Amino acid sequence: MDPIAFVEQHGVVLEGGRGPRPNLAEAAVGEPVRDSWWGHKKGRAIFRATRTVRDCGEVLICRLVGGKITYVHRRLCPAIVRLANSLDKKTLAALREEHTPSGAHRVRTIPFPLHRAQNGAAWSKFAPAAGESADLSATLGITSRLLVTRD
């Protein structure tokens, strides 16, 4: 299974959480993953799939769907930008993993729209297909109640 092709095909994918979108962890091992994927017998394969996606540069890593780690393929990023005013900006913040000099692992959050400005060419390279940004539910293939929206 090619994890990047999986995200590209589905557009919006959960890393490992339960929800309305396909789940990369389950796709990577070809079976349901109960509880945390870290403890799964094929956890290393799942880890490799998640790192492949996180390192590819084709995917926005954020918490768009239900506050869970979500992968959004960049072909949908222009549509996300057009709809950003109707979403909680915290859900659009990019997540970046860093390793400190001491070897510790840290996740840095880059607020929206700052990460968009830093990756403008990547965001604009793929234009959404006709109608993709007309309706958020249709664009992401999920119901709006499952998105965290602004008050």
2-44, pLDDT tens digit by residue? Answer: 999 999 999 999 999 888 899 999 999 999 998 888 888 888 9
Stated pTM of the model: 0.78
**pLDDT for res 114:** 63
| pLDDT band with cut points at 50, 70 and 90 for residue 59 | very high
Q: What crossing angle do the helices spanning 3-10 and 43-55 adopt, rounded to 10°? A: 70
> At residue 122, does pLDDT exceed 70?
no
**pLDDT for res 8:** 95
**pLDDT for res 88:** 84
72-106, pLDDT tens digit by residue? Answer: 998 888 888 778 878 888 898 889 888 888 888 89
> At residue 125, does pLDDT exceed 50?
no
Give the rounded distance of the alpha carbon of 102 from its chain centre.
28
State the distance between the two ends of the chain, measured CA to CA, in whole angstroms.
Answer: 39
Residue ranges of the domains in the chain?
Answer: 3-146
Query: Of the candidates 39, 69, 37, which has an alpha carbon nearest to the alpha carbon of residue 54?
Result: 69
Q: Which is it for strands 105-110 and 94-99: parallel, antiparallel or unpaired? A: antiparallel
